[in-house]
Structures are given as C-alpha cells and as structure tokens.
Amino acid sequence: MKRTLVRWTSLIVLTASVGVGAVALVRNASVKKFFVERKLDRVLEDYTDKVALKTIALAVQEIRALEKAAVKLQAEPTDGNLAAAADAWRTARAQWKKASTIMFGPAAYYNFDKQLATFPLDRPLVEHVLGEIETGRMKVDERYLREELQSSQRGFLAAEYLLFRDGKPRKAKDVSPAELSYLVAVARAMTVESADFEASWVGSAKLPAHKAALLKAAGTQTRGSYADELKHPGTPDSRYMSHSVVLQEIFQDLFSVTEELCPAIVEVLGSADPRDSETWYSNNGPADLMSTLQSVENGYLGGVEGARGYSVSDLMAAQDEVLDQRIKIALADTAYRIAEVGDPYGESREDRDLLVRRAEAACQKLAARLSVAALLVTMDPSTKPYAAYGR
C-alpha cells in the first residue's frame, strides 16, 4: 500500500512538472510564433493543393470530356451524342465557374479566363468563319483558333452557341458539318488553354507526361510553379513577402467574387430573358450563380467538397468563432435563397421579385462578413509584414 502511494505521489509530481513546463513552453514567444506559423503554412498548403490545384485539375478533366464528346458527335452526329456533348458542356462550365475565386496569379498574368470564357460571343465573326469553312476557303483547327482568331470566337460561349438553342440541345440534323468541325476545334483549344492554366500553377516540369506532351505540341511556354510561391511566402523564390500578403490575395478574390455575385443574382434571376446572363443559348445563368457561390465556399472552407483540409475558416474561427459560423450560415443561406427563386425562364411567379431580393440580401450579408474576416485574419500580428514591399 505504501509502495503504491509513493508511486501515485511520484506520478502526480511528475505530471505537475510536465504541466508547468508545457505552460512555460507555450508562453515562450518564439515557440508560440513557431506553432502559429506552422498553422499558417498548413492553411496555405491546403488552399494551394485542395482548392486551387484540385479545382483546376477537375476543370481540365471536364473540358477534356467535352472535347471527347465533341469528337464523338462529329463522327456520329445523332441527337443522343449531341445531348451528351451538351451535358458535357454544362459539367465543364460548372467546374470552370468553381474556379472563379482563383482568378488571381496566373489567371491574371496570362488571361486564362479570357481565353476560355470571353463574354460576349462575337456571333457575326463566328458565322463568318463557319461560312468560310463551308465554302472550303478556310480550315480551322485548335491552333488556328488560338493563334489567329480572337478569344470572343472560341471558348465556352462559342461551344454553347454550337450546341444549344432556347435552353435545350439542338437537333443533330440542324448542325452542319462546318459547325461540328468548328466545335471540335473549339473544344481542343479549350483543352490546351486549361492544361496551360494548370501548368502555370503546378509548373511545366511537374505535369504528367500526357499533359506535358499536349502543351509541347501546342507550342505553349514553359511555366514555373506558382503553387510553390504561394506555399512558401517570404522565401527568395516567392513574390509574396509574408503569409499576410498571400491571405490578402485569397480574401480579395473571395470578397470580390461575392461582391460581383450579388448584383448578378438580381440580373439573372430577376429577368425572364437569358440575355441578361452570359449564357444566351443554354439558359445556364442560374447554374452559373450556384457554381460561382460554390467557388467561394470551397475557397473559404479549404478544398473541394469531400477533400477539405486546413482553411482560412480555421484562421477566422481562432479570431472570432461566432463570425466564422455566421459566414458559413451566410454561404448556406445564399445557396438556399438562389435555389428558392427557381427557374427564371419558366412559369412566372408573383413572389419572384421578393425571392430575388432575399437572395441578394443573403449574398450581401456574406460579402459584408467576408470583408470583416479579411481584416481580422490578414492583420493578425503573426502574419506580418502586411505590405507586399515592407520589411
């Protein structure tokens, strides 16, 4: 009994000593800074890998699926194959809109969004090219599209025009051989542009062999790894001075995309005319809104659905757990309110204007909360320096 008592007493003393040492360790400023920086590093790593790289890789995958569907449609122009190509377009379009909050860095430097999704489509020029193809005076492939024609003659909206009318897939009998040939060229050009976008994040040297071969054949530039720069701020190889500057970049796009989404909700859902959205022929405006909102959610929560990690939400929760919860609620509420409006191109509803205003209000709440979160997270002392060129 005495021996047992001695053992328990020794254990208590040892535990107390360890506890005191742990408290002292945590209170040490340099150790605390180390743990904070490790958390910041993990957030930037997961944002880069699970938000940016994963989103772009999925976009390349879905655009490649659209290309395959277009090739199959050209080989066998049936209504079933045209409907399949139209479905592939909607899937690829949704994935591209989910990249809305990563349109900084390479997308800004090299205009990838412009190359893939210029709005509006220059329909008269597209019709002119189709006429030249039909008469045999012009042959158009993906390289010609990328190097000789304007971005307003290719990309998602050119493919949409060739595949849809009045919100539905066209009938195969109404699509000419020239249109099918143009569609394949557009889809192949999109595959190259999206793969080049991926290369600009991953780095050309780190691309899988088949993608590297595709870009080499297309004659694109060799790209460095923007992902490495984002993950390692403050190092000689990164243009980012600190964690704060990277977080400012991330929050800027989360906020600006949300801020632009709010009036778009009114324009798209408050009108029965598809021309008040970007997608005039597929009536895809409401789906674009939801995919754009999903981009904001993925960016805030640290990854695509089912593959999330450390996030700016975690940083926000450490500052103000209530505000973090309110941002998550605002994300869910905005999605609910957009869905509640229903199809603006369907049957007219007396309460549509009220529902649209509710959706807009939910979006504005989200934007306001993100703007406050940006300041709290990026101005935390642990993220210094705050300015891109400060020391």
Q: What is the CATH number of the domain that holds 237?
A: 1.20.1420.20
DSSP per-residue string spanning 42-103: HHHHHIIIIIIIHHHHHHHHHHHHHHHHHHHHHHS--HHHHHHHHHHHHHHHHHHHTTGGG-
Residue in 203, 104, 110 with CA at minimum distance from that of residue 151 = 110
State the chain's mean pLDDT as an integer. 91
* Of the listed ranges 33-47, 61-75, 103-117, the one predicted with least confidence: 33-47
Token pair for 11? 């254990």
Distance CA 291, CA 288 (A): 5
Distance CA 329, CA 366 (A): 9
Looking at the structure of the chain, the number of domains it has is 1
Residue at 5 is within a domain: no
Residue at 388 is within a domain: no
Residue at 20 is within a domain: no
Q: If 0-12 CB within 10 Å is exposed, 13-18 middle and 19+ buried, where does residue 214 land?
A: buried
The domain containing residue 81 runs over which residues?
39-383
Q: What are the distances in angstroms from CA 64 to CA 45, 178, 186?
A: 27, 21, 11
143 pLDDT more than 90: yes
Q: Where is pLDDT greater, at 280 or 10? A: 280
Arithmetic mean of pLDDT, 54-61: 98
Distance CA 82, CA 69 (A): 8
- Residues 220-276: pLDDT tens digits? 999 999 999 999 999 999 999 999 999 999 999 999 999 999 999 999 999 999 999
- Residues 236-249: pLDDT tens digits? 999 999 999 999 99
Q: What are the distances in angstroms from CA 176 to CA 36, 127, 162, 173?
A: 61, 12, 10, 8
5 pLDDT more than 70: no
The residues pairing with 165 across neighbouring beta strands, listed in sequence order, are 168
Residue at 9 is within a domain: no
Token pair for 183? 């569609």
Arithmetic mean of pLDDT, 325-336: 98
Residue at 17 is within a domain: no
Residue at 87 is within a domain: yes
- Residues 338-355: pLDDT tens digits? 999 999 998 888 899 999
Given pLDDT bands bounded at 50, 70 and 90, which one contains residue 23? very low
Arithmetic mean of pLDDT, 62-68: 98
Q: If 0-12 CB within 10 Å is exposed, 13-18 middle and 19+ buried, where does residue 48 land?
A: buried
Residue at 12 is within a domain: no
Work out the percent of the chain whose per-residue pLDDT is above 70: 90
Token pair for 143? 């390289």
Note whether 312 and 51 are within 8 A (CB). no
Please tell me the pTM assigned to this model.
0.90
First-residue to last-residue Cα distance in the chain: 64
Residue at 153 is within a domain: yes
